Amino acid sequence: MLAGTGSDVGKSVLAAALCRILRQDGYHPAPFKAQNMSLNSYATPEGLEIGRAQAVQAEAAGIPCHTDMNPVLLKPNSDHTSQVVLNGRPAGNRSAYDYFRVEGREELRRAVCEAFDRLAARYNPIVMEGAGSVAEINLRATDIVNMPMARHADADVFLVADIDRGGVFASAYGSIMLQSPDDRKRIKGIIVNKFRGDLRLFADGVKMMEEVCGVPVLGVVPYFQDIHIEEEDSVDLAGKASRAEEGRVNVAVVRLRHLSNFTDFDRLERDGRVHLFYADSAEAIRQAEIIILPGSKNTIDDLEWLERSGMATAIAEARREGRTVVGICGGYQMMGREVADPEGVEGPPRRRAGLGLLPVRTVLTGKKTTRQVEFRFAESGACGRGYEIHMGRTCPDDGTTARHLACLADGTPEGCRLDRKCWGTYLHGILDNNAVVDYLLEPYVQSTGNGTAEDYAAFKERQYDLLAAHVRRHLDMEAFYRILSSEKR
C-alpha cells in the first residue's frame, strides 16, 4: 500500500508507476483503492463506474479496469453531499456527516474487503492506494481505505511524503507516530516525492529522516513535468488558467463549479496547433476561437452560475460571431433549450432554461448510463472510441433540422450537430480521436494532422514506460522487492 502524509502527495501516480514496473518485471499486478473521492470517473468494459485514477493504473498494468479496483467512489455534487457509487452503481446521495457515521459502516467495510479478496484471487501483487492522510485519527473508527484496509490485506505500507509543499520531516514523523503500535510496524519505508533541485543536497536529509522516523527511505523521486499521466483531481486546473496566445488556436474550457472528467481535454491540450486554457470569466471566453462546455456533476447549478457570472452571455455572443461552441455530457445538456429535473436527481425538483444553442431538451433521471462505446463519426465516417457516464435523456425537439454527431456501433444516433461550429455529445473521450480533433480545428488551421507523431493510445503507453523508468532510477527497487518477499507478520 502507498499511504500518504496528505492529499495530492503523488500516491496515484506512484501507484501507476509501480503497476507498470511490476508488469515489466514479469508480475501480474492490479491496482486497488477501497474508497475514492473524485469527479473524474471512467466506465469499465462491463458498463460500471470507477475512479479514473484506478482506470489509469489498470492501463499501466496492462489489464482491463474493473469495479473491484475501486468499490466505493464518492462524487461530490455540492459542498455538503456526494453521490455514493458502490461496486460501480449509484447507491444514493449522502451528506458527509451521514457517510462518515459509525452506524452502517460495516456494510461498506464488508463490500471493500470482498472486492479486494476477489481482486487478489486474480492478480498478484495488488498495488493498493490509501486516501488523503494516513493519520486522520478522528476518522479512524470509520476508516475503510487506509490502515484498516492494509490490515485486511496484510499489506506492506510505504509512506509517500511530499517535499514540495514543505514540512516533510514533521509530516512523515507525525504520520508514523500517530499510528497504533501494530500499524506502525506495517510501515516499511518512506518515499519522498516531488523533489526539486540537486538530489545531493538532500542526502543528509535522508539520513536524518531515517533516524527520526526509524523507517528506511526507499527513494527521493524528483518532480517531473515532461511525463504526462492523467491526473486524478482538478486541483491544478486553476494553474492552467491563462490568456489567449497568438499563433495557435485558442480553446477555452469553461471551468464549471462542478466540472467533471477534465481528462477529456488532455489529448487536445498537447496538440501543437492548440493553446488550451480554463476560463472562469466572460472576458476569458471572449479571447477564444473555440469554447468547450465540459461535463458537470450538477448541470442546473452550473447553468445558473453561467448566468450569474455573465459567461452565458459571452458564450451566446461567441456563437453569433461565428466562433465554435461545443458541449460534452453535462455541457451538451446545457447547450439545449431546457434541463428538467422532475425526480430531484441534483437537488429539489426543478427545471431551467438552457443556453438555447442546440434544439434539444434534457430530462434528468435517476438511472445512470455508464458504458464504453465505439462510434462512427458522422462527418467523416471515421471510427472512434469513447465512454458515457451521465444521468438523463436528451432528445431533439420535433421538426428540428439538426443532425446527429455520431452513430454508435449498434446504430443508435448520438449527439446533436447544427453545423461544424456548434455541436454536443455525451461521449467522454471523443477528443482523444484524431478525426474529431481535426474536424474541430479545421476552420482555424491550414492543415490537418494531430500535431503529434503518434496516436493517443501509443502516446499513453510511452508515458507509462517513461514514468516507470523515472521511478526506477530514484527508488531502491532491490529493497522494495526484498520487503515484499520478506516473511509476513
The Cβ of residue 409 has, within 10 Å, a number of other Cβ atoms equal to 11
User: pLDDT at position 448, please?
Assistant: 53
Per-residue pLDDT tens over the stretch 71-128: 999 998 877 788 999 999 998 888 877 887 777 788 899 999 999 999 999 999 999 9
What cell does 76 get? 461530490
- Rounded to whole angstroms, the Cα distance separating 254 from 275 reads 14
| 237-452 shares the fold of 2-229+461-485 | yes
User: pLDDT at position 77, please?
Assistant: 80
User: Residue 135: pLDDT band by 50, 70, 90 thresholds?
Assistant: very high
Among the residue ranges 75-89, 216-230, 410-424, the one predicted with the least confidence is: 75-89
Q: Determine whether 329 is an active site residue.
A: yes
Per-residue pLDDT tens over the stretch 355-392: 999 999 999 998 999 999 999 998 788 999 999 999 99
User: pLDDT at position 98, please?
Assistant: 81
Residue 16 has pLDDT above 80, yes or no: yes
What cell does 17 get? 508507476
CATH ID of 237-452, from 3.30.420.40, 3.40.50.1390, 3.40.50.880, 3.30.1700.10:
3.40.50.880
Residues 47-59, mean pLDDT to the nearest whole number: 97
User: pLDDT at position 282, please?
Assistant: 95
User: Residue 246: pLDDT band by 50, 70, 90 thresholds?
Assistant: confident
User: pLDDT at position 214, please?
Assistant: 96
Phi, psi angle pair for 425, to nearest 5°: -155, 155
Catalytic residue, candidates 19, 65, 329, 422 = 329
| Residue with the three cell numbers 458537470 | 296
Residue 433 has pLDDT above 60, yes or no: yes
Mean pLDDT of the chain: 93
User: pLDDT at position 347, please?
Assistant: 85
Q: Which residue has the higher pLDDT, 60 or 487?
A: 60
Residues 324-344, mean pLDDT to the nearest whole number: 97
- Rounded to whole angstroms, the Cα distance separating 74 from 59 reads 22
What residue segments make up the domains of the chain, in order of their start?
2-229+461-485, 237-452
Q: Determine whether 428 is an active site residue.
A: yes
Per-residue pLDDT tens over the stretch 25-52: 999 999 999 999 999 999 999 999 999 9
Per-residue pLDDT tens over the stretch 453-478: 468 899 999 999 999 999 999 999 99
Residues 234-247, mean pLDDT to the nearest whole number: 66
The CATH code of domain 2-229+461-485 reads 3.40.50.300
- Rounded to whole angstroms, the Cα distance separating 394 from 361 reads 6
Residue 489 has pLDDT above 60, yes or no: no
User: pLDDT at position 453, please?
Assistant: 44
Per-residue pLDDT tens over the stretch 268-291: 999 999 999 999 999 999 999 999
